[in-house]
Amino acid sequence: MKLTNKRILDDAAGLSQLTQKSLPIKVSYAIAKNIAKIQPVLKIYNDEKQKLLDQYSVKNEEGKTLIEENNQATIQKEFLADWSKAIKELNEIENEIDVHKFNIDALLNSTCEMSPGEFMLIDYMIEEEK
């Protein structure tokens, strides 16, 4: 299954939170397995984003990226358009992930409670009966 870097990045924290819930074992296993599959993708994404930060950010006297009080880097004004274009391209890159799936019955036949947002996080992991 193809997942964009943006989807993986947006879902990562929520998936980690789901691992703390009491879920049916097949669901819990699928989520844990899929987190393990996306972690290398996240590492590569973060490495590439850091390269872009190194290239486009405001630097301190030692030539290192200046981190503001809000723990954010500031992009040099003359490079804002280039930064935005590069980050957009990085976010849109698709990754082929061998998603571990589970049958919807594992959730329907359980007593676990999940919010609609949590279902949205795992929608690509769920197989419906055929």
Q: What confidence tens digit (pLDDT) does each residue in 80-95 have?
A: 999 999 999 999 999 9
Binning the chain into helix, strand and coil, the percentages to the nearest 5 are 60, 10, 30
Q: What is this structure's pTM?
A: 0.86
Please write the tens of the pLDDT for every residue from 30-67: 999 999 999 999 999 999 999 999 999 999 888 888 88
Around Cβ 129, how many Cβ atoms within 10 Å?
7
| Residue ranges covered by each domain of the chain | 2-127
